[in-house]
Amino acid sequence: MTTTQNFNTWLTCWQPNPEAKLRLFCFHYAGGGALIFRNWPCYFSSSIELCAVELPGRGKRLLEPAYTKMKPLIQALSLALHSYLDKPFVFFGHSMGGLVSFELARQLRREYDLTPQHLFVSGCRAPQIPDPDPPIHQLSNSEFIEELRRYNGTPEAVLNNQELMDLLLPCLRADFAVLETYNYQSEPPLTCGITAFSGSEDQQVSQAEMLAWEYQTTADFCLQTLPGDHFFIHSHQSLLLQLLSQDMTNVLRSLIRLS
């Protein structure tokens, strides 16, 4: 029987596995939560333990104030996750989650001299490329909702439900504030490999912006293009997880060779 374990308020693991050789931390997109990764563990080897990150302001943390700036968010994440980095680990992040996982990897390197075995970024432009779109987090509710409709990540039924949107808007605004006030600072590239996943019809992030992740690593880089728009993480989930599972198997093989 599958069990759920809350390691702390930041992490949920649906299939705890103390014998796992590798820990996969998954970071959700703006407005999302840990539940988007609920069925992912069944796609991976029993040697991999999946831990889903949930930021404040949503899900089981709905009553907690959401972060609106990247730096304090990363500092809090570094403190919260440090004790769970006692075995080799990798990061996966989609959209906002990709940027958060990248900055967390750099923070862990600075603070603890720890580095992921691999960084998987999905639907997220390389951090050194400024966001070309004007900020939206301070728009009126009606204008903000119209911008969310353009992203095509929120069901129309939800966008048209005023009571539900009143509940979701503070978290969404906070997440967009994190992204739109982000200020990239140059540091040496990461020493772990980076794999980027891109949607062929993504109107928010171009192929060129995804390819630019290559400059953030001294190790191997790979760009994998999937069908779908910015939220191919849902529309083509099975294909994404098949590719991710293959890559994770390669990471495990590398660990075995080095052991």
Residue 152, pLDDT score: 75
pLDDT digits (tens, 9 = 90+) for 147-189: 888 877 788 888 888 888 888 899 999 999 999 999 999 999 9
Location of structure tokens 């702390």: 8
| Mean pLDDT, the chain, integer | 93
- 33 CA to centre of own chain: 10
Classify residue 139: in a domain, yes or no.
no
Classify residue 62: in a domain, yes or no.
yes
Cβ proximity of 229 and 199 under 8 Å: yes
Q: Which of 45, 47, 95, 122 is catalytic?
A: 95
Q: Kindly report the pTM of this predicted structure.
A: 0.94
Cβ proximity of 213 and 121 under 8 Å: yes
Classify residue 169: in a domain, yes or no.
no
Count of domains in the chain?
Answer: 1
User: In the predicted model, what is the mean pLDDT of residues 106-121?
Assistant: 98
Classify residue 163: in a domain, yes or no.
no
Classify residue 239: in a domain, yes or no.
yes
Classify residue 112: in a domain, yes or no.
yes
Residue 3, pLDDT score: 42
Q: Provide the pLDDT confidence category of residue 7 given band limits of 50, 70 and 90.
A: low
Classify residue 124: in a domain, yes or no.
yes
Sign, CA torsion 113/116/117/119:
negative
Structure tokens at 100: 């958060």
Residue type (1 letter), 204: Q
pLDDT digits (tens, 9 = 90+) for 195-238: 999 999 999 999 999 999 999 999 999 999 999 999 999 999 99
User: In the predicted model, what is the mean pLDDT of residues 20-30?
Assistant: 97
Torsion of CA 213, 183, 26, 49, to 10 degrees: 80
Classify residue 64: in a domain, yes or no.
yes
Residue 1, pLDDT score: 28
Residue 12, pLDDT score: 95
CA distances to 89, 166, 193, 210 from 222, rounded to whole Å, are 19, 40, 8, 10
Structure tokens at 253: 């093989």
Residue 238, pLDDT score: 97
pLDDT digits (tens, 9 = 90+) for 28-66: 999 999 999 999 999 999 999 999 999 999 999 999 999
User: In the predicted model, what is the mean pLDDT of residues 102-106?
Assistant: 98
User: In the predicted model, what is the mean pLDDT of residues 90-103?
Assistant: 98
- 253 Cβ contact list (under 8 Å, min separation 6): none
User: In the predicted model, what is the mean pLDDT of residues 103-121?
Assistant: 98
Sign, CA torsion 139/123/127/43:
positive
Is pLDDT of 11 > 70? yes
CATH number (domain holding residue 17) = 3.40.50.1820
Query: What is the bridge-based pairing of β-strands 193-199 and 5-8?
Result: unpaired
In percent, the amount of the chain with pLDDT more than 70 equals 97
Residue 59, pLDDT score: 92
Exposure letters 163-194 (e unless 16+ CB within 10 A, then b):
eebeebeebbbbbbbbbeebeeeeeeebebbb
Q: Catalytic residue at 142?
A: no
What's the CA gap between 187 and 194, in Å, rounded?
A: 16
Domain of 69 in residue numbering reads as: 5-129+186-258
- 180 CA to centre of own chain: 16
